[in-house]
Amino acid sequence: MGGDRAPDEIVAGALEAASPQITPVLVGPESLDTAGLDLVEAPTTIAMDEKPGEAVRAKRDSSLVVACRLVREGRAD
């Protein structure tokens, strides 16, 4: 979970978006405080300076790859 003021702002935004129609699923390290939201563990990340294709193939447990897998499996939108 990257971004400005991450992960706190991402979790806060997901909490704000949560509703009976929207169930946020967060992807990140096991230690992430999700404030009760569902978490799918992804222990590694892809850095901005990495070559995208190589990083996606090499880091199958990165948050980006795990999130894409959840979408492919229909477990996330």
pLDDT in tens, 7-20: 999 999 999 999 99
Structure tokens at 19: 């509703």
Instruction: Examine the pLDDT at 2 and tell me if it is beyond 90.
Output: no
Q: Return mean pLDDT, the chain.
A: 95
Distance (Å, rounded) from C-alpha 38 to C-alpha 26? 6
- What pLDDT does residue 1 have? 62
Q: 27 to each of 20, 32, how far by Cα in Å?
A: 20, 9
Q: How far apart are CA 75 and CA 59, in angstroms?
A: 20
Q: Does residue 58 surpass a pLDDT of 80?
A: yes
What is the domain range of residue 41?
8-72
How high is the pLDDT of residue 4?
83
Query: Is 77 part of any domain?
Result: no
**Number of folded domains that form the chain:** 1
Q: Does residue 1 lie in a domain region?
A: no
Residues contacting 71, CB < 8 A, separation 6+: 77
Question: Is position 2 within any domain?
Answer: no
Reported pTM: 0.89
**Does residue 27 contact residue 46 with C-beta atoms inside 8 Å?**
no
